[in-house]
C-alpha cells in the first residue's frame, strides 16, 4: 500500500510511459478523470486543424479532395484504429457516429442471422448497456417485428438459446466499468448459432482488444463499432468507426449486399454518379455520406497519441499502468473515504475491470461530482447515483490519483457538496 504522496511521485518518476503526457495540451491545475467521456486534446491537434482549414481548404479549395487526399481519410484513420483493436488493414473505417454505425451493422447481422435461421427473432443485450445501443436495437426490433430481450450481465450465457439472432454488447460497461470476456462470449454465442456485435466505445485505445481472436474463428467477433472521442482523443463529436469480420464482408461482396444506409460514398464508384446503388467492396460499403474532413484530421491526431505508446510497450503497457492507477484509486478511497457513503461499483478483480473507477453514493452523487469539478477534479456523474473516474494512462499520473482522492475525502468530510449551488445539475453531467 502506498502511504504517502512521495510514494506516488516516485512511481511517476519511474513511469516508462511518462513522456506520453507531453503529447497532450493539459490545462494547468486540472486533475482530469473524464477521458472515458471526452479525451484530452492532443498537443498536435490545434496546428493540424489549422493546417486543414487555412492551407488545405483555404488554398486548395475543392482540389483538397485529391491534393490533400481527403477522400481516403476514413480508410487511413481506420487502418490506424485497426491496429488498436486487432483488425487488419482495409477492414475498418472511421465514419459517422457510433449510433449510426450500430444501426448499419446490427441491420446486416440480423439479415445474416435470420436468413440462415428464419426462426431466430431475438436481439439479446445487457439491461445496463449504453442507452443509445438499446434505443437503436429497440427501433430495429420494432420495425422488423423482433424481440429485444434485456438481461443482467451474469445471465447472458443462460439466455443464448436457439431464438437469439444477435447478441449485442458493450465490451466495457459505461456505468460500472465491468469488462466482458470477449473471446469467451463470442465462442458461447457462436455455439448457440448467434452473431455478436460489440461496442468498443469504452475499450478502444484504453486496453488490448483482439476482434479476430488471433485467427480463431469461433472466438472472433462478427461486427464492431466504437467511439472516436473517448480514449482515442479525437475531440468532441469525433467520427466513430465500424468493423466487420472479413468473412462477412466477403459474403456481402459475393452476394452484392449493401447496408441499409446506402449513401453515395459507399457506392463502388461514387463519381460515376449512377442512378442505381452498387455497394463498394469490403468495409468501404459501410461508408455513407461525405466524411467530415476537419474532424477526421483531429481524430487522426488523437489516434496517433495512442499509437505513440507502441515503442514503449503499446496497449499492454498502457493496460498495466491503467490497472495500477485504478487499483491505487480503489485502495486510497478504501482507506481515506471509508464510512462516507461511497460504494465501489467497479469490479475489484482486475481481470473484470476496464479503465475507470465508479462509486455509488445514494445521497448525492451528482452534487459530490459538481463539488469536485469546482475544485478542478473533473470526473462525471451518471444517473441515478454513480460517480465515474476515467483512467487514461497516456496522460494520467499516480500523483493525480493521490490528489483526486484527497479532494474527494475533503468534499465528503466537509459536506460542501450539500451547498445549494451543487444541487442543481447542469445540462451535461
Contact between residue 223 and residue 168 where contact means Cβ atoms under 8 Å apart: no
CA distance 134 to 157: 19
CA pair distance 225, 101, nearest whole angstrom: 6
As a whole number of angstroms, the longest Cα–Cα distance in the chain is: 69
- Per the annotation, the verdict on 229 as an active-site residue is yes
Q: What gap in Å lies between CA 286 and CA 267, rounded to an integer?
A: 9
Q: Active site residue: 229, 231, 286, 389, which one? A: 229
The number of beta carbons lying within 10 Å of the beta carbon of residue 423 is 12
**120 backbone dihedrals φ, ψ, rounded to 5°:** -80, 120
Set 104, 212, 353, 388: catalytic member: 388
Cell numbers representing residue 155 in the block: 445471465
Is 387 in a helix, a strand, or coil? strand
What distance in Å separates the CA atoms of residue 245 and residue 220, rounded to the nearest whole number?
Answer: 8
- Residue 388: active-site member: yes
Task: Pick the closest to residue 229 from 216, 220, 218, 238 (CA basis).
Answer: 238
Catalytic residue among 104, 178, 187, 230: 230
Q: Which grid cell sits at 51?
A: 493546417
**Cell output for 274:** 449512377
Contact 390, 377 (CB under 8 A): no
* C-alpha to C-alpha distance for 252 and 283, rounded to whole angstroms: 10
Give the count of beta carbons closer than 10 Å to the beta carbon of residue 207.
23
DSSP 272: G
SS3 assignment, position 203: coil
Active-site residue, 130 included: yes
- Cell numbers 445487457 correspond to 126
CA torsion through residues 199, 288, 236, 294, sign: positive
- Catalytic, out of 103, 130, 359, 422: 130
Closest CA to 177 of 154, 153, 202, 152: 202
333, exposed or middle or buried, with CB in 10 Å at 0-12, 13-18, 19+?
Answer: buried
Neighbours of 291 (CB within 10 A): 21
Name the catalytic one among 79, 176, 199, 222. 199
Alpha carbon distance 71, 87 (integer Å): 22
Question: 398-414 vs 5-14: helix axis angle to the nearest 10?
Answer: 150
Active-site residue set: 130, 199, 229-230, 388
Amino acid at each position: 500500500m502506498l502511504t504517502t504522496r512521495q510514494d506516488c511521485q516516485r512511481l511517476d518518476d519511474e513511469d516508462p510511459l511518462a513522456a506520453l503526457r507531453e503529447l497532450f495540451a493539459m490545462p494547468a491545475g486540472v486533475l482530469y478523470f473524464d477521458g472515458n467521456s471526452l479525451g484530452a486534446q492532443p498537443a498536435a491537434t490545434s496546428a493540424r486543424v489549422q493546417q486543414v482549414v487555412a492551407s488545405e481548404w483555404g488554398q486548395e479549395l475543392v482540389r483538397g479532395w485529391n491534393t490533400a487526399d481527403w477522400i481516403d481519410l476514413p480508410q487511413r484513420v481506420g487502418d490506424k484504429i485497426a491496429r488498436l483493436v486487432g483488425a487488419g488493414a482495409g477492414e475498418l473505417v472511421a465514419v459517422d457516429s457510433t449510433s449510426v454505425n450500430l444501426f448499419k451493422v446490427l441491420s446486416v447481422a440480423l439479415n445474416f442471422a435470420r436468413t440462415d435461421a428464419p426462426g431466430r427473432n431475438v436481439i439479446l443485450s445487457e439491461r445496463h448497456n449504453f442507452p443509445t445501443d438499446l434505443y437503436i436495437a429497440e427501433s430495429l426490433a420494432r420495425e422488423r417485428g423482433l424481440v429485444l430481450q434485456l438481461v443482467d450481465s451474469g445471465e447472458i450465457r443462460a439466455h443464448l438459446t436457439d431464438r437469439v439472432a444477435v447478441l449485442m454488447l458493450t465490451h466495457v460497461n459505461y456505468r460500472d466499468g465491468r469488462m466482458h470476456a470477449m473471446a469467451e462470449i463470442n465462442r458461447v454465442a457462436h455455439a448457440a448459432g448467434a452473431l455478436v456485435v460489440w461496442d468498443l466505445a469504452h475499450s478502444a485505445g484504453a486496453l488490448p482488444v483482439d476482434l479476430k481472436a488471433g485467427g480463431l474463428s469461433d472466438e472472433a467477433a462478427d461486427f464492431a463499432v466504437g467511439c472516436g472521442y473517448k480514449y482515442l482523443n479525437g475531440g468532441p463529436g469525433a467520427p466513430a468507426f465500424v468493423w466487420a469480420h472479413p468473412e462477412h464482408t466477403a459474403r456481402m461482396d459475393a452476394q452484392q449486399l449493401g447496408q441499409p444506409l446506402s449513401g453515395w460514398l459507399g457506392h463502388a464508384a461514387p463519381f460515376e454518379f449512377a442512378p442505381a446503388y452498387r455497394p463498394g467492396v469490403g468495409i468501404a460499403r459501410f461508408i455513407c455520406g461525405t466524411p467530415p474532413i476537419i474532424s477526421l484530421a483531429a481524430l487522426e491526431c488523437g489516434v496517433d497519441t495512442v499509437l505513440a505508446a507502441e515503442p514503449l510497450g503499446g496497449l499492454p503497457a498502457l493496460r498495466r499502468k491503467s490497472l495500477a492507477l485504478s487499483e491505487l484509486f480503489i485502495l486510497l478511497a478504501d482507506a481515506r473515504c471509508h464510512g462516507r457513503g461511497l460504494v465501489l461499483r467497479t469490479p475489484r478483480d482486475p481481470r473484470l475491470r476496464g479503465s475507470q473507477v465508479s462509486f455509488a453514493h445514494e445521497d448525492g452523487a451528482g452534487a459530490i461530482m459538481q463539488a469536485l469539478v469546482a475544485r478542478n477534479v473533473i470526473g462525471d456523474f451518471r444517473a441515478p447515483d454513480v460517480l465515474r473516474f476515467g483512467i487514461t494512462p497516456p496522460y494520467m499520473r499516480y500523483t493525480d490519483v493521490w490528489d483526486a482522492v484527497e479532494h474527494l475525502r475533503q468534499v465528503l468530510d466537509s459536506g460542501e457538496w450539500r451547498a445549494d449551488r451543487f444541487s442543481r445539475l447542469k445540462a451535461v453531467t
